[in-house]
Amino acid sequence: MKQILLIEDDVSFSKMLKHFLERHNYAVTVSYNINSASTLLKQQNYDLIFTDLRLPDGNGIDLLKQIKDSKNTVPVVLMTGYAEVSTAVKAMKQGAFDYISKPFNPEEVLEVISNALEKKTIDSNFETTKPPKDKTNIDFVKGISAASTTLNEYIQLVAPTDLSVLITGESGTGKEVVAKTIHLESLRNGKPFIPVDCGAIPKEIASSEFFGHKKGAFTGATDDKIGHFEAANGGTLFLDEVGNLTYENQIQLLRALQERKVKPVGSNNEINVDIRLITATNEDLLQAVEKGTFREDLYHRLNEFSIKIPNLKDRNNDLILYADFFLEKANKQLNKSVIGFSKSVLNIFQDYQWPGNLRELSNVIKRATLLTQTEIIDTNVLPVELKQPKESNTISNTFSTKENEKMLIIKALKEVGNNKTNAAKLLNITRKTLYNKIKEYNLN
């Protein structure tokens, strides 16, 4: 059983995290300050250290330095508040394995632990003066279909270069997984991979998010902040849903890419950055260029090489591979031991159109794994829409036809009794998009 040292002065939070980790078969020792943690480290060897950034007698970086000075190779993961991310990035430059921003989700915790322990195993098996380069992406499955073969060939072709890559594909096809695979197969694989969801960044703080800011630059800027460009220096910056950037933000991004320099908000000094840019979108950026909502010069800067990720329905030969992969992942996350699927389930999987692509398949299997009480997943634990695919798929697959949009929204709302959450799921769009469409078509 792997030993974890958890250093956190919030007693209730530490108890909750300890209980969660123990349920996933980790042995956890809790310490509430650096002094007691130092004593524990002298008494016992640990496989991983989780430490809060702020502690009563110092901070996590002080402890990190102490560990590195003692030549201890135990991986250290920092837990931070959102405002402390820039400090956590500095800690990674000083040898921390990773950081997690609070509040964090359980899957993220387990994934970071798995990656850290995997790296520790590599470090202990191979003596080297340089840290080993992890060139595997545990979330990437190489399919055997013609579409997957082409995708894999494109990844292998472009990865060793420094070309900017534009990844397109429907929601849920795994664009970030492909981006990370390109990074891990590149010469930059030992440097940071920084993913950014452009749709989640308010336009008012986009400059600060991308380029950082100095303390006092604006109201609320209580500390210096490292932007995403600087955090990714030497590595890869991945901008997901890049089509959501405002026109002003597009200009700022273009200038940074052209000059390879960024200026933090409130600073007079420019910082040189060496990054590889990968972007992704489920929109038609060329159409946005024609409409004038996306800059043509930026589009060409991003699209030095393009990769279109196929839909899951176009990778039917890969379906069982992905199903087995997601089942194994669900077993680990839920501490279950389901061994496979019934023939009826596999037939349903093959006939279903999967409008939500890999994300939908993953969610379906995780839910089924949780619900099943036997060693085999059977049809009784599958969602209703999978067993009645024609009704839901007719709506989802024709939704993209503009002239039918209003009719389809009305039909979906009627079908679910005007429940907008369920209607959005049926249409395979977000609730926010549905509300915007309802407003656009004046549907009361």
Q: By mean pLDDT, which of 124-128, 151-155, 220-224, 265-269 is the weakest?
A: 124-128
Give me the pLDDT at residue 4, please: 92
Residue 444 confidence class, pLDDT cut points 50, 70, 90: low
Are residues 354 and 422 part of one domain? no
Domain assignment present for 140: no
CATH at 188: 3.40.50.300
Distances (CA, A) of 120 to 46, 114, 162, 172, 201: 11, 10, 29, 32, 34
Average pLDDT on 353-359 reads: 92
Are residues 425 and 281 part of one domain? no
Give me the pLDDT at residue 65, please: 83
Are residues 113 and 163 part of one domain? no
Average pLDDT on 165-184 reads: 94
240-276 per-position pLDDT tens digit: 999 999 998 999 999 999 999 998 888 888 899 999 9
Give me the pLDDT at residue 78, please: 83
DSSP state of 200: G
Given 342, 359, 387, the domain boundary residue is: 387
Give me the pLDDT at residue 104, please: 66
Are residues 290 and 189 part of one domain? yes
Domain assignment present for 363: yes
Domain assignment present for 283: yes
What's the structural domain count of the chain?
A: 4
DSSP state of 360: H
Are residues 214 and 117 part of one domain? no
Are residues 150 and 298 part of one domain? yes
Give me the pLDDT at residue 120, please: 58
Q: How far apart are CA 271 and CA 268, in angstroms?
A: 10
Domain assignment present for 133: no
Share of the chain above pLDDT 90, in %: 38
Give me the pLDDT at residue 395, please: 47
Are residues 152 and 43 part of one domain? no
Where in the sequence is the domain holding 8, given as residue range(s)?
3-125
Domain assignment present for 134: no
Residue 186 burial class via C-beta count within 10 angstroms: exposed 0-12, middle 13-18, buried 19 and up: buried
Domain assignment present for 141: no
Average pLDDT on 22-34 reads: 89
Q: By mean pLDDT, which of 3-7, 127-131, 426-430 is the weakest?
A: 127-131
Average pLDDT on 360-387 reads: 92
Give me the pLDDT at residue 250, please: 92
Given 308, 338, 367, the domain boundary residue is: 308
Domain assignment present for 211: yes
Q: Vertex 101, ends 98 and 104: CA angle to 5°?
A: 105
Are residues 191 and 73 part of one domain? no
Peptide bond into 264 cis (omega under 30): no
Q: pTM (2 decimals)? A: 0.59
Given 293, 308, 323, the domain boundary residue is: 308
* In the predicted structure, residue 304 carries a pLDDT above the cut 50: yes
Higher pLDDT: 78 or 195? It is: 195
Q: How far apart are CA 138 and CA 115, in angstroms?
A: 9
CATH at 55: 3.40.50.2300
- On whether the CB atoms of residues 215 and 78 are closer than 8 A, the answer is no
Are residues 276 and 169 part of one domain? yes
Are residues 121 and 222 part of one domain? no
CATH at 317: 1.10.8.60
Are residues 432 and 347 part of one domain? no
Domain assignment present for 172: yes
Give me the pLDDT at residue 103, please: 65
Average pLDDT on 300-319 reads: 92
Residue 404 confidence class, pLDDT cut points 50, 70, 90: low
Average pLDDT taken over every residue of the chain = 83
Higher pLDDT: 119 or 60? It is: 60
* In the predicted structure, residue 131 carries a pLDDT above the cut 50: no
Give me the pLDDT at residue 11, please: 84
- On whether the CB atoms of residues 236 and 186 are closer than 8 A, the answer is yes
Residue 87 confidence class, pLDDT cut points 50, 70, 90: low
Give me the pLDDT at residue 306, please: 95
Sequence-separated (6 or more) residues with CB below 8 Å from residue 289: 295, 296, 299
342 CA to centre of own chain? 31
* In the predicted structure, residue 82 carries a pLDDT above the cut 60: no
Give me the pLDDT at residue 385, please: 86
Are residues 290 and 181 part of one domain? yes
* In the predicted structure, residue 377 carries a pLDDT above the cut 90: yes
Give me the pLDDT at residue 135, please: 53
* In the predicted structure, residue 15 carries a pLDDT above the cut 50: yes
Give me the pLDDT at residue 400, please: 44
138-154 per-position pLDDT tens digit: 678 888 888 998 999 99
Give me the pLDDT at residue 133, please: 43
